[in-house]
Amino acid sequence: MAAAKTTADDTIADQIAQMQDDLAAIQADVASLTEIAAKNPDDTLIAALLDDAKAQETLAQDKLADAQKQADAVADAPTMAAVTDLTDAVTQDAAATADALTQADRDVSDGQTKSDANLDAAKTAADVALADNIAQIKQNISDIQDDIATLTDLQDKNPGNTVIANLLADAQTQLAESQQSLADVTNLANQVEDQPTLADVQKIVDAAQTQTDYSDGDETQAQTDVDKAQAESNAKLNDAKQAATTAANQALQDIQQSIAGIQEDIRQLEQLVTDNPGDTTIANALADAQAQLDTAQATQTDAQQQAAKIAAATTLADVTAVTYQIAHDEASAGVDKEDADAALATGQQKSAENLAAAKDAAKQDLQDNIDAIQNNVAEIQKIVETITDIANKNPNDADIRAALTNAQNQLDKANDALTDAKQQLATVDDAKTLAQVAEKTAAGDADEKRSDQAVADAQTELKQAGAKSADNLADAVADAMKQADASLAAIQADIEQIKDDISQIRAIAAKNPDNQKIADLLADANMQLTEAQSRYQAAQAAKTELQDKNQTTTLADVTEKLQTISDKTTAADVDRKQADQDLANAKVAAADDLADAKQQATDAINQQLDRIDEQIKQIAQDIADLNDLAKQHPDSQAVKDALADAKQQLGDAQDAKQTAQDQLQQIGQATTPDAVNNLNDAAQAAGGAVTDAVKAANQDLADAKAAVANEMATAKDAAKDAVQQQINQLTDNVKQIQDIVDQLQNLVNQHPGNQALADKLASAQTQLKAAQQALDNARDQLAAIDAATTPADIAKAVNQIKVDQVVGQQALQTAQRLLADAQTIVAGLSTTATVVQAVSAGQTVPASAMLAYTVPQTVAVPGPVVTVTTTGAPEYRWAGMPVTSIDQATPAVGQTIGERTLAGAAAYRALDNKGARIQDRRVALSDINQTQQQDSHASLLRHGWRMPYYLSGRFMNDWHLNAANVATLLFFGTFLGWFFLPAKKKENEEE
């Protein structure tokens, strides 16, 4: 038997190994078919073959599992026949697995054959499709080339048209892109045979079709380019015709206008020929203008013929040629007009030159007449003046006066001739003809002759008056000498007056050394003195000449010398008046200078006082800022020193202000600019002192701020170091409290339902929150120290942190006390006391002890029954009757166990350690759900509950029980257990 089993084991093991190999081979077939199916996603046959191969795989797996099961059963086979049956079963499984492999191999072969056929068919179809694509692309290329030819022709007909040029360039781009598409599709066609899968073949087909679509788009775009170019060409031709027609009409109008202008030129030239007979230049200009008219009229005829050709033009070049010729005709007519205008200008210029030459000659002749007449008038005027002078010197001489009258008459005649000659000259330009010019020249010659005669007559009168005057010369000289002496005396008096003026101006200048105007006036007065002295010398020289008979031979000489003396006398008087004016001006300038100096000084001092006031305000502000710093930093000696100095600067500034005000008051009494300037300098110096004071006060403030900043930085560093130590202490407090909370949580977990422990835990968690809040606040205070601006801010933050430290320490102490209390509570608890143990010991459990349980099961105890639902809401029963609350059940339980009747559950729980150990352990749900036994005591003991606690004195002490009560409870509990348990068991069985 053992040998048979051994043989069977070996045989089965070999067969299982073969089955495993077959299964692996089938799985390889499935993998192959999976790959083939992936390459042929739409082939239902291959998909069916794959499904079949997977079915063979499943069959082989089942057979292998069955064989392994048979192999496991050999050891327990009771007979040889059983061993043989097991071996035969494995042999059958092996044969079925081998058949499955054969079928899977066949599936793979069939699938591969079908896949190859699919691939060949796809390649054949791809070759056809790509051949069609190539043919289509080639046709597109041919069409695009035709389009390009059309566009090239349109471009040739529209040179310079960028729209058509761009369209041609775009068509050429489409050709290049289609040619690239052809190359790409040709290349793809060569790759079809090398593709290993349908998907690869399809990718080539799709790519080729994409390129064909691109080429179709290229051909469509090229045709669109042709259409657009043709439309552009037509539009440009129409525009060109319209523009050419408009230009032609305008050109014809311009040509007609040119012809009209030439005709007007001819009319004017004909008049010029009439006005300038015998002038060949003007005659030639007229002939040239007539030739220009003939040429312009011929040009007009050609332009009209060219305009008629515009409507029949078929290309822009035709329109351009016509337009060019018309423009040429227009320009030619314009040139003809310009030439005619030039001929007219030549004629006009020559005519104007002829008339201008005649006028110039006439003007010169007339001017010569006028010059001669003016000389005659001047000569006669001198004669009249001489005779007048002689007459003035001989007031009782009738002959001289008669000669003067006659001479004046000759002067009037000469002036009349001069007036007429000037009139002729003034109207020369008004002459329109050479004849009119000649008339004016003749009139001028006649005027000159009349003036010549007047001169001769006046000279005769002068000779007669001169002869008569000689007799009176001696008397004239004597009279002149007297006048000369008087004049010299007057000049000397003027000189003395000028000297006095200079002396006064010099004194004024000394008081106003910086006044250039006064200096200039002094210089001018000195110049007047020099001029007056020079005039005195000249007058003295004239007097000397007057006495010299060789130099004074006529009354004219006497008059001349006397006039010289008179002129010098008059000039000297002017010099004196100018010196007087210089003195007056110097006095005004000095007064103005003093007034200006006072005003400028007043303005400057007032401005300085304004600045002083502003600077005093600045110092006061510095003091206010320093006072603020002193309040914020009462212990800073630097701030105290800076404040004291700033106050001193304020006092100095106020003293300087008073000084400036004093100078301002004294300006009114100053008599010279220097005195005024000295007062202003003193006021400005006071202002400088105030500036120094404000700078010092500003520096005091800056120094105080810098000192405060340094002190604050030092205080912050010290505070942050101390605070960080307190934060570290608080961090340690939080850690210790967290450890206490963790310990309390463990105690609560170990003693679920113990409210006292839960309360301790909740209190400890409250302390943890308080400590954490204190730590967070301390960290906030650390940030507050960084942001602090005063020592008070730092002290506030530090004091707050001290409070936080106290809070943290108190929280730790409280938590430690809570832990100690909890540990004391736990030390008094029994770790094995349970409700069920109390029940098994026959004790009545107060309903309040059951409140902590949440198992969805009714626990039967001798006394109140507590049902805790799945929602955690308890239901209470007493002796099988429901009660509304634990408060109704508690007094009865208390009476049953001999306790005092209490007002309710709250008061009952208030008793020291009431039921504490009863609630120590939770009944496991798995224990409750197990089948309960007939004997409730035995059932509870079976589930691990023990009785040492109840048999000891601790249970009785905890519940204040005596022996009689215990005996009564045990008896009553046993009775209730036997009474209720069978019914409960029946309910369980029915469930």
Residues in contact with 705: Cβ distance below 8 Å, sequence separation at least 6, in sequence order: 629
Sign of torsion over alpha carbons 347, 351, 354, 357: negative
Instruction: Let me know: does 599 contact 541? Beta carbons within 8 Å.
Output: no
Take residue 177 and report the two structure tokens written for it.
Answer: 């892109």
Tokens of 781: 């205070």
Q: How far apart are CA 481 and CA 474, in angstroms?
A: 11
The residues, ordered by sequence, that sit 6+ positions from 210 with a Cβ below 8 Å of its Cβ are: none
Confidence of residue 887 (pLDDT cuts 50, 70, 90): very low
Give the mean model confidence (pLDDT) for residues 325-348.
85
Of the pLDDT bands very low, low, confident and very high (cuts 50, 70, 90), residue 555 is low
| Angstrom distance (rounded) from CA 843 to CA 350 | 162
Mean pLDDT of 5-17: 91
Which tokens is 533 given? 């002295």
DSSP string, 69-133: HHHHHHTT--SHHHHHHHHHHHHHHHHHHHHHHHHHHHHHHHHHHHHHHHHHHHHHHHHHHHHHH
Q: For all residues of the chain together, what is the average pLDDT?
A: 80
pLDDT tens by residue, 488-517: 999 999 999 999 999 999 988 888 888 888
CB–CB of 402/409 below 8 Å?
no
**Percentage of residues of the chain with pLDDT beyond 70:** 83
By CB neighbour count within 10 A (0-12 exposed, 13-18 middle, 19+ buried), where does 228 fall? middle
| 671 band by pLDDT with thresholds 50, 70 and 90 | confident
Rg of the chain (C-alpha set): 73
Name residues whose C-beta falls within 8 Å of residue 532's C-beta, 6 or more positions apart in sequence: 491, 494, 495, 498, 571, 572, 575, 576
**Chain segment 191-200, per-residue pLDDT in tens:** 988 899 888 8
Two structure tokens written together for 25: 């081979």
Looking at residue 844, the DSSP 8-state letter turns out to be: P
- The pLDDT value given to residue 851: 36
| Average pLDDT rounded to a whole number, residues 561-585 | 89
- What separation, in Å, do the N-terminal and C-terminal C-alpha atoms of the chain show? 51
Task: Identify which of 291-305, 861-875, 890-904 has the greatest average pLDDT.
Answer: 291-305
pLDDT at 965: 52
DSSP β-bridge partners for residue 865:
877
Dig out the tokens for 523 from the structure.
């210089």
Whether 843 has a pLDDT exceeding 60, the answer reads no
Grouping H, G, I as helix, E, B as strand and the rest as coil, residue 859 is strand
Angle between helices 2-39 and 44-74 (to 10 degrees): 160
pLDDT for the residue 591: 83
Tally: H helices and E strands in the chain: 24, 4
Inform me whether the pLDDT recorded for 960 exceeds 90. Answer: no
Residues 677-689 have pLDDT tens digits of 888 888 888 889 8
pLDDT the model gives residue 694: 86
pLDDT tens column, 806-841: 998 999 999 999 999 999 998 887 443 334 433 444
% of residues, the chain, pLDDT over 90: 33
Residue 352 has a pLDDT of 82
**Which whole number is the average pLDDT over 263-289?**
87
Taking the C-alpha atoms of residue 145 and residue 968, their distance in angstroms, rounded to an integer, is 124
Would you state the pLDDT for residue 179? 93
Which candidate, 316, 312, 171, places its Cα nearest to that of 233? 316
Residue-wise pLDDT tens digits, 745-768 = 999 999 988 999 999 999 999 999
Please determine, for residue 319, whether its predicted confidence score (pLDDT) is greater than 50: yes
Q: What is the pLDDT of residue 128?
A: 92
Closest CA to 68 of 16, 6, 7: 16
User: Span 458-485, mean pLDDT?
Assistant: 83
CB 130 within 8 A of CB 189: yes
Q: Tell the residue number behind the tokens 């499955």, with chain if given.
A: 100
Give pLDDT, residue 940. Answer: 38
Question: 3-state SS string over 768-823?
Answer: HHHHHHHHHHHHHHHHHHHHCCCHHHHHHHHHHHHHHHHHHHHHHHHHHHHHHHHH
Question: Does the pLDDT at position 103 exceed 80?
Answer: yes
Residues present in the chain in total: 991
- Confidence (pLDDT) at 925: 31
Contacts of 908 (CB under 8 A, 6+ apart): 846, 848, 890, 894, 902, 914
Helix axes 516-547, 473-511, angle to 10 degrees: 160
pLDDT band at 355 (very low <50, low <70, confident <90, very high): confident
Task: Name the H helices within 828-869.
Answer: 835-840
Tell whether the model's pLDDT for residue 113 goes beyond 90.
yes
d(CA 460, CA 388): 15
Mean pLDDT of the region 306-322: 80
For 25-66, the pLDDT digits (tens) are: 999 999 999 999 998 998 899 999 999 999 999 999 999 999
Residue 169: the pLDDT is 93
- Asked if pLDDT for residue 959 goes beyond 70, the answer is no
The DSSP code sequence of 361-421 is HHHHHHHHHHHHHHHHHHHHHHHHHHHHHHHHH-TT-HHHHHHHHHHHHHHHHHHHHHHHH
Over the stretch 906-943, which tens digit does the pLDDT of each residue have?
Answer: 333 333 333 333 333 333 333 333 333 333 333 333 33
DSSP track, 866-933: EEE-TTS-EEEEETTEEESSHHHHHHHHHHHTTPPP-SSHHHHHHSTTTTTTTTSSPPPHHHHHSPPP
Please check the confidence at residue 321 and state whether its pLDDT lies above 70: yes
963: pLDDT strictly greater than 70: no
Q: Binning pLDDT at 50, 70 and 90, where does residue 962 land?
A: low
